[in-house]
């Protein structure tokens, strides 16, 4: 089969590799029908994620058709249309039993496109298929469901739920890429008073308005902290969500948050950021961070199937399966191309 293979920082190729097979009785092999690219894949390609080594097939998001299942798979059968979760979960370890699938110690966690071969391929082996795939509901498209492989639960769980967004809150979201937009969409479910989107790219700020931000700030021209303070009688945001993954935006979130508020870090940071612990301590700021667990995927699938969230609007560019070089280029140059999610379909 053909797959997108990582060959060290900045190097990737669509090349011929062996087709995956069922290796354990809890595996499924899924034919990839629709696949997309994540901001984390861009971090990997820069060399920020040391665990990803030469020869790894990239990608951790897909919707596909089950081709083969191991003898121990009960919930999924050949021919089923499934969402492949970015987090693989054994379903039985201490963490999985608490819904902390990202921390699975039974062989799961974030492994696809990271520690084992991923989804940017014609076929993918999905370990623990019973807990790592979700049936696609009737009446929704593969593209919509694909947005729940990673970005939907990430913005919702790691941004909105960790940030404890409540009705009437002022929520600042730094970074309006697909993950930040998911956080905006998720925050809107809780009727915030204001959602302030902060991004250096005007195209992304336009998208943020479509997703429900009522104030947009480009920090290359405006002072985000001053704007949020004006809005909040000088206090700051109840919740500041970091959805970029660089030190300055984490530090900006610490400046944006009000005393007693929460900074919810979502970004994957390739290096350390500064924590002014005395300032954060005296302000009683709660800081949360973490890898997505995808425990909210069933909730988000229900919200999608009942038209409470609109995921189709994430998809801005479409390619045929295999056109990864152009698709990555379009996604990486989002400020110029206006890309949110690029989708490749077989
Ligand atoms: P993306 O690259 O598409 O979006 C990032 C956005 O940040 C862009 O719109 C960019 O213009 C903006 N930006 C860059 N520098 C900025 C700055 N100084 N100030 C304001 N805005 C700035 O990425 P994405 O797919 O939306 O992902 C966002 C982050 O979330 C990434 O770090 C990604 O790795 C991470 N992520 C985390 C998890 C998790 O489990 N916690 C899961 C998936 C993705
Ligand atoms: Zn991702």
pLDDT per residue over 108-163, tens digit each? 999 999 999 999 999 999 999 999 999 999 999 999 999 999 999 999 999 999 99
Ligand 1 pocket test, pick from 181, 204, 227, 243 with the greatest ligand atom count within 8 Å of Cβ, gives 243
Q: Does domain 2-150+294-345 have CATH number 2.60.120.650?
A: no
Overall pTM surpassing 0.90 (yes/no)? yes
- Is pLDDT at 205 greater than 90 in this prediction? yes
6 beta partners: 12
d(CA 196, CA 215): 5
For this complex, say whether ipTM is above 0.95.
Answer: yes
Residue spans in the chain of domains classed CATH 3.90.180.10:
2-150+294-345
Residue spans in the chain of domains classed CATH 3.40.50.720:
153-288
Task: Kindly state the greatest CA–CA separation across the chain.
Answer: 61
Q: Which two tokens stand for residue 57?
A: 């097939």
Query: For position 128, what pLDDT does the model report?
Result: 98
Contact 263, 288 (CB under 8 A): yes
Ligand 1 pocket test, pick from 112, 175, 224 with the greatest ligand atom count within 8 Å of Cβ, gives 175
Ligand 1 pocket list (CB less than 6 A): 38-40, 42-43, 150, 154, 158, 174-180, 198-201, 204, 219, 243-246, 248-249, 266-268, 291-292, 334
Radius of gyration in angstroms for the set of CA atoms belonging to the chain, rounded to a whole number: 20
Contact 229, 172 (CB under 8 A): no
φ/ψ of 342, rounded to 5, equals -105, 135
| Closest ligand relative to 202 C-alpha | 1
d(CA 185, CA 180): 9
Second CATH level (architecture) for the domain 153-288:
3-Layer(aba) Sandwich (3.40)
């Amino acid at each position: 089969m053909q797959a997108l293979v990582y060959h060290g920082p900045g190097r990737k190729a669509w090349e011929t590799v062996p087709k995956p097979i069922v290796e354990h009785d809890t595996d499924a092999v899924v034919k990839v029908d629709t696949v997309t690219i994540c901001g984390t894949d861009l971090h990997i390609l820069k060399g920020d994620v040391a665990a990803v080594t030469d020869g790894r097939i990239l990608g951790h998001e897909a919707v596909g058709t089950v081709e083969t299942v191991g003898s121990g798979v009960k919930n999924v059968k050949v021919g089923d249309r499934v969402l492949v979760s970015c987090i693989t979960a054994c379903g039985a370890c201490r963490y999985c039993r608490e819904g902390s699938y990202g921390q699975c110690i039974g062989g799961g966690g974030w492994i696809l496109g990271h520690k084992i071969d991923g989804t940017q391929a014609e076929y993918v082996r999905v370990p623990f298929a019973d807990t790592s795939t979700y049936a696609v509901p009737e009446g929704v498209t593969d593209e919509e469901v694909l947005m729940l492989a990673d970005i939907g639960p990430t913005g919702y769980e790691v941004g909105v739920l960790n940030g404890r967004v409540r009705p009437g809150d002022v929520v600042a979201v730094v970074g309006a890429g697909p993950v930040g937009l998911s956080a905006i969409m998720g925050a809107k479910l809780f009727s915030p008073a204001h959602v302030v989107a902060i991004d250096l790219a005007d195209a992304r700020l336009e998208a943020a308005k479509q997703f429900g931000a009522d104030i947009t700030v480009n920090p290359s021209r405006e002072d985000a902290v001053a704007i949020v303070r004006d809005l909040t009688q000088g206090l700051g945001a109840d919740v500041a969500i970091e959805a970029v993954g660089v030190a300055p935006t984490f530090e900006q979130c610490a400046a944006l948050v009000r005393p007693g508020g929460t900074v919810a870090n979502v970004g994957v940071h390739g290096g350390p950021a500064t924590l002014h612990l005395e300032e954060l301590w005296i302000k009683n700021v709660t800081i949360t961070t973490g890898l997505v667990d995808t425990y909210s995927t069933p909730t988000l699938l229900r919200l999608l199937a009942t038209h409470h969230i609109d995921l189709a609007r994430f998809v801005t560019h479409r390619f045929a399966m295999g056109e990864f070089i152009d698709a990555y280029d379009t996604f990486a140059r989002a400020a110029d191309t206006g890309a949110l999610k690029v989708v490749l379909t077989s």
